[in-house]
Amino acid sequence: MIDWKGSWITDANDMHYKPAPYFRKEITTLKTIKSARAYIATGGLYEFYINGNKVGNRMLDPMYTRFDRRNLYTTLDITADLKKGKNAFGMLLGNGWYNHQSTAVWNFDKAIWRNRPRCLVNIRITYTDNTSETIVTDESWKTADSPVIFNSIYTGEHYDARKEISNWNKPNFDDTSWKKAEISLAPSSNLVSQQLHPIRVISKLKPAKVEKINDTLYVFTFPRNIAGTTQLSIKNAVAGTVFRIKHGERLYKNGRVDMSNIDLHYRPTDNSDPFQTDIYIANGKGNESFSPKFNYKGFQYVEISSSKPFALDRNNILAFVINSDVPAVGTIKTSNEVFNKVWEATNSSYLSNLFGYPTDCPQREKNGWTGDAHTAVETGLYNFDGITIYEKWLADHQDEQKEDGELSNIIPNPGKFGYEFATGPDWTSSVAIIPWKIYTFYGDISLLTKMYPNIKKYVDLIDKRYPSGVTDWGLGDWVPVKSTSSKPLTSSMYYYADALILAKTAKLLGKTTDSEHYFHLAQKIKNAVNDQFLNKTTAIYCSGTQTELAGPLYWGLVPDEFRQKVADNLYKKVQETNFHLDVGLLGTKALLNALSENGYADAAYKIASQEDFPSWGYWIKNGATTLYENWPLDVEKNDASLNHIMFGEIGAWMYKGLGGIFPDEEIPGFKHILLKPNFVTGLDSFEAKYQSSYGEIVSSWKRKNGKILYKVTIPPNASASLYLKHGMSLSISPKEIITVNEGLYEVIQLEAGTYSIKLNEK
C-alpha cells in the first residue's frame, strides 16, 4: 500500500470544457539521486513528462474501471529521467472513459462518475545518503490549456498545433501566466495498484496503397484491419490548414472511406465531433507530426482531407497497432494455408479487443461485453499470457455486481446502462467461467478464491428467481446463421456450468457444506433440463438445431446413456447443411468441440475449414484479416463490425480438437496434460505449441506413406496422458510404454521428454 500524500488536483473548468489540461511542477535537487518512483492516479488518462521527455512507452494509462468505486494507479521508475539540479514534471490529462464527451447509445456521457480529468501524483526520491523526499500534487502545480483541443476515447482527437507551448515541461519555463491548480475531490476512495500488462504500440504499418481522389483528398489502404492510431507527418503546410483523418474498415465503390457498418450506435451532437476522425490544424513551422494520445480506432483504411490543397504520399502516414502488450504463448501451423490465416485473424481480433479489459470491437463500441469475453477466453489463454488482464477485469465484475448478485452485460458500465438485457447466465457467466479457466490453465487458485463470493451470489440469485432449475433469463444464441434455438435451454446450460464451477470451487476451498449444496443444485439443473428438453426416444434436445444438440454435449448435460446417440444426431444435423455452420454465438462455442470430443473430429474439421458461406474461411477468401460480427458480407443490410472476437472459439479449438492439448482440472496448470489429438482427414500436417508454466508443450503430426508420424513434447516437471483411438497399431521412441484401455481409447502415460510415435491409419 502507498502512503499517499498531497491532494488530487484539476483545473478550473467543468466536464464540458473541451481542451485537455497541462500541469507542471519544477523542483531543484541538490543531492545525488539513488532511486526515484512516480506513483500516478488519474480520473481519465495521462501522459507524464520529465525534463521535456515522456516517461516510458505506455499508452492509455491507467486502465478503465468503474471510476466511482475503484481507481488504478501506475508506478513508474524514473531514476534515469531525473538529474541533480533542476527538474521539471509535466502532466497532460485526457478524458478517457472518465469524462466521455461524445454521445452514443450506451450513455457514457451520462455516467454517474463523469467529471473533469484530475490527478494525484507522488514522486518519491531517495538519495545516496539514504534520505528521501516526496513531491506531491497540490496548489503549487500550475495549469494551462494544451493544444489537444478535444479528445474522446470513442470518436477521435483534435489538435491545434498553433496552440503548442514550447518547453512547457522543461526546467526554466516561465509559467507566471499559468493558473494555479485547484484541489479536487478524488473519483473514489479506493486506490489500487495497476498490475497488468500495459497498453503499448506493438508494431507500425506502412500503407500498402494510396489513392489520390483530388488535390485535397487521399485514401490510404493498410495491409490489415487493426486497432490503433495513425501518425501524420507533413512538411511545409500553410498555418491553419485543417487535416481531417478519417478511419474505417471498408470503402465505398467510389474509393472513399465507408463507416456505415460501424457508426450504428454513434449519436453525434453536432458536426464538431465526427466518428473515428482525428483533426489536426497545422502550425506552418516546417516539419510537423501528429498522433493522438488518448484515443484508438478500428480501421484498415484512412481518408485524409485537407482544407487547402496538399500533396500526400505513403511516407506521410503510419499506422500504429496498439493493444495490451500480452506475451504470445501459442502457435498453430497447418498444411491448410487458409486455415492458418483463420488462426492469425482470430488472434488479431483478440488483440484488437484487449485494452486493459476484453472488448467486443475496437470501433463502434469498445465495450466489455461479458458473453463475448467468456466465449473467447480459451482462445486468449492458449495464445497469450493474459492472466493479468482477466484478474483486473474480474475485479471490475466485483465493482459492478449488485447486492442481490446481478451483473451488468457490459463491464465496466456507466451506471445507467447494462442491466436492461443480456444479463442472464448465457452472458454474465463470465463471473464463473473465466476464473475457472484461469485456474485450469495456470494452476492458480487465488482468482477463484477471490471470486467465490461473487459466483455464489450470482448462482444464488438465479436459483432464487428460477427454483425449477430451468431459466429463460438471457439473450440466447446471438446472431444465428439461420436456425433459432431454445433460449431456456441455452440459458440453463450456462446456469448448470456456473453451479458446477461453484461446487468444484467450494470443494477446492474446503467448503464442504457449500460443495454438497451446489453439486446437488447442479444435478437438479441437469435433471430439469433433460426432463424438459431431451426427447428420450429420439435423443434430440428441443427441435434439434446444431446449438441445441452441441450445447448439452459440450457443457456435460447429456446423460451417459444418451451421449453417443445425441452425438450421432448432431453429426446427422451437420450433414444436412453439408458440414456448414448453422449456429449463433453460443453454438459456435460448443459445436466443433462437441463433435471432436465425441468421435466426429473429421466432421468438425470439415466445418472449421469450409471456404464458402457461412464459415471463417469464407471471410478469409473475401479478404478478411480479422473476424467479423456476422457471417454475411453484406454490411449494408447488416450493420456488422469487421473486427469482432465473439466467433473466436475456433482459435482455441485448433489446440483442443486437432492438437488435443487440454489442461487437467484435477492437476491444473498443465502440471498434468491431457493429450487427445485428432488426425483428421483433409490435413496433411498440424503443429500446436503452447508455452505453459512448466515449459513448452508440443503436439504435432503429419501423414507420410500411409502412416501418422506424431511428435509430442512434455515439459520438465510435467506429465501427460495420451489418448489414442483403441486398435491403432503404434510404435513409440525413445522408450517402452504401458497402455491402459479406456473405452475407445488407449491411454499412454508420458513423463517429461520428447516422443516420436508412428501410427497406422485405419
Per the DSSP assignment, residues forming a β-bridge with 298 are: 227
Q: Residue 738's pLDDT is what?
A: 46
Regarding whether 350 and 390 lie in a shared domain, the answer is yes
Q: Residue 635's pLDDT is what?
A: 58
Range 668-693 burial, b when 16+ CB lie within 10 A, else e: bbbbbbbbbbbbbeebeebbbbbbbb
Kindly state whether residue 306 falls inside one of the protein's structural domains: yes
CATH of the domain at 578: 1.50.10.10
* Tens of pLDDT, residues 176-229: 999 999 999 999 999 999 999 999 999 999 999 999 999 999 999 999 999 999
Kindly state whether residue 663 falls inside one of the protein's structural domains: no
Q: Residue 184's pLDDT is what?
A: 98
Regarding whether 513 and 442 lie in a shared domain, the answer is yes
Three-point CA angle 12, 14, 20, nearest 5°: 75
Task: Give the domain extent around 705.
Answer: 672-760
* Tens of pLDDT, residues 135-190: 999 999 999 999 999 999 999 999 999 999 999 999 999 999 999 999 999 999 99
Kindly state whether residue 579 falls inside one of the protein's structural domains: yes
* Tens of pLDDT, residues 442-483: 999 999 999 999 999 999 999 999 999 999 999 999 999 999
Q: Residue 38's pLDDT is what?
A: 98
Kindly state whether residue 227 falls inside one of the protein's structural domains: yes
Q: Residue 646's pLDDT is what?
A: 96
Q: Residue 166's pLDDT is what?
A: 97
Regarding whether 344 and 306 lie in a shared domain, the answer is no
Distances (CA, A) of 640 to 256, 301, 482: 19, 16, 16
Judge whether residue 739 has pLDDT over 50.
no
- Residue where one domain finishes, among candidates 258, 292, 324: 324
* Tens of pLDDT, residues 474-525: 999 999 999 999 999 999 999 999 999 999 999 999 999 999 999 999 999 9
Regarding whether 293 and 146 lie in a shared domain, the answer is no
Strands 217-235 and 287-290, bridge-based pairing? antiparallel
CATH of the domain at 712: 2.60.420.10
Judge whether residue 353 has pLDDT over 90.
yes
Report residue 743's pLDDT band, with 50, 70 and 90 as the boundaries: low
Q: Residue 705's pLDDT is what?
A: 86
Mean pLDDT, residues 715-740 taken together: 74
Instruction: Name every residue whose Cβ is closer than 8 Å to that of residue 246 and which is 6 or more positions away in sequence.
Output: 257, 259, 274, 276, 277, 302, 303, 304, 305
Kindly state whether residue 1 falls inside one of the protein's structural domains: no
Kindly state whether residue 664 falls inside one of the protein's structural domains: no
137's grid cell:
500534487
Kindly state whether residue 115 falls inside one of the protein's structural domains: yes
Number of domains in the chain: 4
509 vs 524: CA distance, rounded Å: 22
160's grid cell:
491545434
110's grid cell:
451520462
Three-point CA angle 498, 499, 503, nearest 5°: 120
* Tens of pLDDT, residues 240-261: 999 999 999 999 999 999 999 9
Regarding whether 80 and 169 lie in a shared domain, the answer is yes
Neighbour tally for 539: CB within 10 Å: 21
Regarding whether 706 and 690 lie in a shared domain, the answer is yes
Regarding whether 628 and 556 lie in a shared domain, the answer is yes
- Residue where one domain finishes, among candidates 196, 211, 235: 196
Kindly state whether residue 728 falls inside one of the protein's structural domains: yes
Regarding whether 706 and 608 lie in a shared domain, the answer is no
HSE at residue 102, side-chain half, CA atoms within 13 A, is 29
249's grid cell:
474498415
Regarding whether 171 and 136 lie in a shared domain, the answer is yes
Assess contact for 671 and 665: CB atoms under 8 A: no
Please, what sign has the CA dihedral across residues 119, 194, 418, 644? positive
Judge whether residue 1 has pLDDT over 90.
no
Q: Cis omega (within 30 of 0) on the bond before 268?
A: no
186's grid cell:
478524488
Strand ranges of the sheet holding 672-675, from the earlier edge strand across to the other edge: 661-663, 672-675, 719-725, 745-750, 739-742
616 vs 341: CA distance, rounded Å: 10
274 vs 701: CA distance, rounded Å: 51
Regarding whether 600 and 467 lie in a shared domain, the answer is yes
HSE at residue 296, side-chain half, CA atoms within 13 A, is 27
Neighbour tally for 234: CB within 10 Å: 21
Regarding whether 419 and 305 lie in a shared domain, the answer is no
Report residue 634's pLDDT band, with 50, 70 and 90 as the boundaries: confident
489 vs 484: CA distance, rounded Å: 12
Regarding whether 562 and 623 lie in a shared domain, the answer is yes
Mean pLDDT over each residue of the chain, to the nearest integer: 95
Grid-cell match 521428454, residue found: 753
Q: Cis omega (within 30 of 0) on the bond before 412?
A: yes
CATH of the domain at 252: 2.60.120.260
Instruction: Name every residue whose Cβ is closer than 8 Å to that of residue 46 and which is 6 or more positions away in sequence.
Output: 40, 61, 62, 91, 92, 93, 94, 119
- Residue where one domain finishes, among candidates 309, 324, 339: 324
187 vs 505: CA distance, rounded Å: 34
Strand ranges of the sheet holding 21-29, from the earlier edge strand across to the other edge: 53-54, 45-50, 85-94, 21-29, 142-145, 179-180
**What backbone phi and psi angles, to 5 degrees, belong to 384?**
-145, 150
